[in-house]
């Protein structure tokens, strides 16, 4: 059977007795994390020799040779094949790898694959390898983490680095890093050091974490909505200081207000933000529209139409006017604030 993460955690708490361990996911961090943990646990059992054969198209002959060395010296060996892609391998190589999985005697094989999407694992050669590994060892599908999982990971990661990260600060960090575990771990390591290994605050995250135009524009929109024009202009200046292009800022700003206009129109038709998310074929999670719905509550549809007109005119001017993009954006932001006050 194919196990999921919760089951894998329990399995790895017990003595390991499989010949093959195959971890796959759409997230490289997860596949790598559990493969490395498995190898570390296996190496605790004794002096095991280690061979690593790189993907995406591994040299299966090299793996067979490694197995031959085992019979010669009598030493158990771990063969690690990270990031292999059975769909990119020749049919003969996939068959040879499957045969190898079935004929292991004094060796353990650890494999990882990162699929480009959820459909890739259903390809013929992928299913052939998965089925073989199911018959001979442990197969684990590690699903992409949800926001709540990423928040828990971020907080536990901060503790591991000797710092503290509150739920509110974790949410602020996820606004910038999403649920990318690689980026989260790197950012938390940096922020923990910057905090002196104490408290990673929202202010520190805003100053030092990975910059995201969408996250910064979202904060700027909240300031406009809350009639804090001075703060919104300061946020805009920060984006300029970070060398963000005016057109990119304008696009993110327009996207935020288009989301608000859509959920406002949906609400008039008795549709919540989740229904709007589906109707307009958004990708990913509906968290973005949930926040848009909260921001839109303070606007009328007429106000949002006026704002979209301003942003449409801004886009046209940015692409045709000789006036500085910074000046055009600052002017447009003040116009949005005026509409909000009305």
Tens of pLDDT, residues 308-342: 999 999 999 998 888 889 999 999 999 999 998 87
Query: Tens of pLDDT along 145-159?
Result: 778 888 888 998 899
- Tell me the pLDDT band of 74, cut-offs 50, 70 and 90: low
Pairing verdict, β 107-114 and 2-3: unpaired
User: What was the pLDDT predicted at 208?
Assistant: 76
Which of 14-23, 151-160, 176-185, 294-303 is predicted least confidently?
176-185
> Mean pLDDT, to the nearest integer, of 271-287?
82
Q: Which residue's entry shows tokens 């995406």?
A: 56
What the chain holds in terms of domains, given with CATH numbers, is: 2-142 (3.40.50.300), 147-208 (1.10.8), 213-341 (1.20.272.10)
Q: pTM here?
A: 0.55
pLDDT above 80: residue 241? no
User: What was the pLDDT predicted at 71?
Assistant: 45
60-67 long-range Cβ contacts below 8 angstroms, 24+ apart: 60/93, 60/96, 60/97, 60/100, 61/96, 63/97, 63/100, 63/109, 64/96, 64/100, 66/107, 67/100, 67/103, 67/104, 67/105, 67/107
């Amino acid at each position: 059977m194919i196990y999921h993460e919760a089951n894998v955690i329990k399995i790895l708490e017990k003595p390991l007795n499989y010949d093959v361990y195959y971890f796959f996911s759409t997230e490289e961090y997860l596949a790598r994390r559990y493969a490395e943990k498995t190898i570390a646990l296996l190496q605790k059992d004794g002096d095991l020799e280690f061979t690593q054969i790189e993907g995406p198209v591994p040299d299966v002959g090299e793996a067979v040779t490694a197995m031959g060395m085992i019979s010669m010296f009598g030493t158990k060996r771990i063969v690690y094949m990270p990031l292999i892609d059975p769909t990119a391998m020749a049919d003969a190589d996939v068959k040879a790898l499957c045969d190898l999985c079935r004929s292991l005697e004094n060796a353990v094989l650890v494999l990882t694959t990162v699929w480009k999407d959820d459909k890739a694992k259903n390809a013929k050669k992928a299913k052939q390898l998965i089925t073989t590994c199911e018959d001979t060892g442990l197969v684990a599908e590690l699903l992409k983490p949800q926001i709540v999982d990423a928040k828990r990971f971020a907080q536990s990661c901060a503790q591991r680095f000797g710092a503290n990260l509150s739920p509110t600060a974790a949410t602020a960090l996820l606004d910038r890093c999403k649920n990318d575990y690689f980026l989260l771990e790197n950012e938390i390591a940096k922020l923990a050091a910057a905090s002196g290994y104490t408290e990673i605050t929202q202010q520190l995250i805003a100053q030092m974490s990975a910059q995201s135009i969408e996250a910064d524009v979202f904060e700027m929109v909240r300031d406009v909505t809350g009639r804090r024009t001075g703060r919104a202009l300061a946020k805009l200046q920060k984006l300029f200081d970070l060398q963000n292009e005016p057109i990119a800022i304008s696009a993110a700003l327009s996207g935020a207000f288009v989301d608000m206009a859509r959920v406002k129109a949906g609400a008039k038709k008795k549709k919540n933000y989740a229904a709007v998310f589906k109707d307009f074929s958004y990708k990913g999670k509906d968290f973005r529209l949930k926040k848009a719905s909260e921001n839109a509550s303070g606007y009328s549809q007429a106000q949002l139409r006026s704002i979209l007109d301003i942003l449409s005119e801004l886009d046209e001017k940015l692409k045709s006017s000789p006036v500085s993009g910074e000046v055009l954006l600052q002017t447009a932001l003040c116009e949005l604030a005026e509409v909000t006050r009305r």
